[in-house]
Structure 1
């Protein structure tokens, strides 16, 4: 009996040891911490306060957030990860932030070019929208735009359009981050025929998406030339009652500035200040026609602004005084605008143009150096969108939104300065991998979250429909 008890105890100990060994083998090695993804071997541009650039760098990710940023030798022994991404020969950097877009308008790309903004809008775009835009149009147009933006390294964008709930659904489907504004305008729109309907739709839209991890729902009164004072005030009241951002076209073209001064005796910025619309919850798109007083006002209220070089050049709207605005303390984002007025969604091209445009306009080769431009496309854009605590730099605790950009090509070799490389040499086709919230959404240039062939086929269908509508 005694021998039997001893054998049973020994067997239990043996089984216990086997279980313990199994547990130890399945756990990280002693001293290691658990990560879901470890990116190694890249040149890491952090865009943190110290602007650290880490050669042979690494980024550890857990869930949707960044755990640590450092050298490979520091992080590899410390973090065990289920997925290792080798970024050898590449730049690892924060995802790009597009400060102003109209995603669904990708389906209008090229229908009207070489026009002033006023003619382009009133003679072509507004009529085309009235004939073609519905919820399905917006959903498919947004999917088409997502393909281009994601593949080009854009991880967050600000959008203004109609049926914005559809934009939000598709943005979430694509795994992208968006600040998405439902457009309010003083004439019958494709989704809402009256201001009252538009405000009610927007209230429902804001409530539905509140607290979503990817979507920030916003309200977007179109502009001071398409919205009355009462519409602008009601939009601001609705936004602030819901704690939502306000997106608005602001001081974009000469006619807007001239009309504002003739009607109100104030600049567009001064007019919005006078009616109480300005605040740190506002993102103004374009802000081209601003003087020193306007810049001081924008900085005082904490208003973010987006610079859209291609679109402003194409419509001859003017040149944003970027250098002066940065000096005044205005948070600036870089942006593409919509594909109908650009006609691309390539933030790498916008970086190149932004730098060269300021140098040319100011006749100063030192104006807006490459590092400042990269800042506008990352942490500066996050500040303009009032999201700098979440995104815009690679730092522990921030969302794991990052891109891997290949530098192993003839147009990018050799690399002496990473900022110069990004602004003047590389382009969107060099982006290889994109992560948003710790999830890989682009891998080896393939968008994993969308059906590209179905989207391209649907875009061709819409082309035929739009062409037929324009003939009527």
Structure 2
């Protein structure tokens, strides 16, 4: 791999605290074999290394590559015919998803992520039909897409071994349906043949195959409390310790999930998984909208992380996570784009603005998100939730050479007051069309709108052509079943939660 000198107008190397970042005017760095070896000014480094190839014109802002801490799919649910709905109903509408070419589908969202400065993704793979001999090769197709395009991935296959449609035993749910729906529903369940043992075997196979790669890591994903039996929680907790890999678990996304935990264990969901020794720095909770104050205290005490999926929480009516309280308590937080952001794409620059502004509670206390805090969430905060850990997220000697060059003129033209802090301009004004270059592991994978490894137009045309085929018989049956199930699922959840019993936790703000 070539050695490169990367230059900038100004370089933001890292977050110092929630109000401060470290900047270097005329900043530059040297990367060699994917690792940063020197940091300083362009004047000094170019004089020292006059023959090195230079990336950057000196008219860009240089920042660490962003981490999408929670991601699932390529084409969005809306594109596939599943509208935004409350989460538990949305599970039903997701049954309409086409049989996708997973390689092309993964490239689709990777184009969007890289184009907004994301260099690392936490890919949490959902269900795939079939047995392990079919599922594992498909999982490796997802990884192949990331390898081909050049970005880093932390991949996990979400483990689910119960309650696969509603928060009720599968057999009991089938029995509750009208006779004409029972056989189609059972056929849908029968498509998924990966048991707990298969899932753990697949993790071990994939970990062994990919663990030593620089841009691919494998970790674990307990899908959610309602989806995991006690046996699954035990197996996942033990495997995390044995293989020394992180876990990423959806938890308390909705009020119904909070009620489910109480019905199952007579305690909160956090208290329940704590029984299985799951809490700690190696566990990240996705969403965490319905955590209570004692839950948050326990997360802070154990060093457990939370991935904040702001767009998804809004789109699926899940609620507003207590991000301000997470910050006060010192909980490490990441940013996840989940299925898709507020604009139905994977734009980290847009998502950072949403996170910055969604939690601006009334009052004058210093308890709302700051631009350095949001920047940290998208860099080191996200990296800590992956196996890459503190190797990523800052532009310092010894760290991975994952970085983004953002066009300063795009942010500042036709005018920007000279007193405006640089990071404020980046977080509040940078757009994806101002991303000039993206480097991952020392390699330029995107430059001036062109992906260096994969033909974007060709891949999208292939995806379009693949999905232009007629619906298969099983796709038609699933669409019909989805429509027929919706009223029965609505009935199942009617009255499931007592609103007076489950209120979201928000930290009261000071009033003036």
Q: TM-score, normalised by structure 1?
A: 0.85
8 Å contact from structure 2 (residues 411, 426) kept in 1? no
Evaluate the alpha carbon distance shift between residue 119 and residue 269 of structure 1 in structure 2; reply closer, same or farther with a 3 A threshold: same
- Mapping of 1:203-282 within 5 angstroms? 203-282=204-283
**Could you tell me how far 1:103 is from its partner in structure 2?**
3.2
Question: What is the CA–CA distance in structure 1 between the aligned matches of 2:209 and 2:191, rounded to whole Å?
Answer: 21
- Equivalence for 1:55: 25
Q: CA deviation at 1:35?
A: 7.8
Match of 1:150 among 91, 109, 114: 114
Verify: 1:371 aligned to 2:372, yes or no: yes
Pair 1:459–1:384, CA change in 2 (3 A): same
Q: Give the Å deviation of 1:341.
A: 8.7
Range with greater deviation from structure 2 (186-195 or 323-332): 186-195
Question: Following TM superposition, by how much is the alpha carbon of 1:119 offset from its aligned partner in structure 2, in angstroms?
Answer: 0.5
Change (3 A) 1:75 1:181: same
Residue 320 of structure 2 corresponds to 319
- Kept in 2: contact 1:251–1:287 (CA 8 A): yes
Q: Which residue number corresponds to residue 180 of structure 1?
A: 155
Contact 2:324 2:369 in 1 (8 A): yes
Q: Is the 8 A contact 1:331 1:380 kept in 2?
A: yes
SS of aligned partner of 1:52: strand
Q: Give the greater-gyration-radius structure (CA).
A: 1
Partner Cα separation in structure 2 for residue 150 and residue 252 of structure 1: 27
Q: What is the correspondence of 1:8-157 to structure 2 with a 5 Å cutoff?
A: 36-47=3-14, 49=16, 51-104=21-74, 106=76, 109=79, 111-121=81-91, 123-125=92-94, 127-128=95-96, 132=99, 137-157=101-121
Alpha carbons of structure 1 residues 238 and 81: separation in structure 2 relative to 1, 3 Å = farther
- Alpha carbons of structure 1 residues 337 and 454: separation in structure 2 relative to 1, 3 Å: same
Tell me which moved more, 309-318 or 295-304.
Answer: 295-304
Counterpart of 2:441? 437
> Do 1:109 and 1:339's aligned partners in 2 also have CA atoms closer than 8 Å?
no
Match of residue 449, structure 1, among 449, 453, 456: 453
How big is the shift at 1:230? Answer: 1.2
Cα distance between partner residues in 2 of 1:263 and 1:204: 32
Q: Does the 8 Å contact 1:108/1:339 carry over to 2?
A: no
Residues 379, 190 of structure 1: alpha-carbon distance in 2 compared, 3 angstrom cutoff: farther
1:133-180 deviation line (CA, Å, top 9, x unaligned): 5xxx22221111111111111001111115432222221121111111
What's the offset of the Cα at 1:92? 0.3
Whole-angstrom distance in 1 between the partners of 2:325 and 2:51: 45
Q: Which moved more, 1:174-183 or 1:69-78?
A: 69-78
Correspondence 1:459 to 2:463? yes
In 2, are the aligned partners of 1:296 and 1:328 still within 8 Å (CA)? yes
What's the Cα RMSD here? 2.5
In the TM superposition, residue 222 of structure 1 has moved relative to its aligned partner by 0.9
DSSP 3-state at the match of 1:396: coil
Aligned equivalents of 1:308, 1:339: Cα separation in 2: 10
Q: Residue 265 of structure 1: CA displacement?
A: 1.5
Tell me how far 1:47 sits from its aligned partner. Answer: 0.6
Counterparts of 1:371 and 1:466 in 2: how far apart (Å)? 49
Alignment-derived partner of residue 165 in structure 1: 140
Alignment match, 1:27:
none
CA contact (8 A) 1:248 1:283 kept: yes
CA offset at residue 37 of structure 1? Answer: 0.8
Question: How far did 1:327 drift?
Answer: 1.5
**How many positions carry a matched residue from both structures?**
433
Change (3 A) 1:101 1:410: closer
For the residues of structure 2 that align with 1:341 and 1:425, how far apart are their CA atoms? 17
Instruction: Please give the alpha-carbon distance, in whole angstroms, between the structure 2 residues aligned to 1:106 and 1:408.
Output: 32
Give the structure, 1 or 2, with the largest relative contact order (CA under 8 Å, sep 6 or more): 2
Unmatched segments (≥5 aa) in structure 1? 1-33
Is the Cα contact below 8 Å between 2:252 and 2:258 reproduced in 1? yes
Deviation string for 1:349-402 (max 9, x for gaps)?
Answer: 111010110104778786101121111111222233364421000000101000
- Partner in structure 1 of residue 429 of structure 2: 425
> In the alignment, what sits opposite 2:416?
414
Stretch moving more, 387-396 or 459-468: 459-468
Task: Verify the 8 A CA contact 2:341 2:347 in the aligned structure 1.
Answer: no
Matches of 1:352 and 1:180 in 2, distance apart?
26
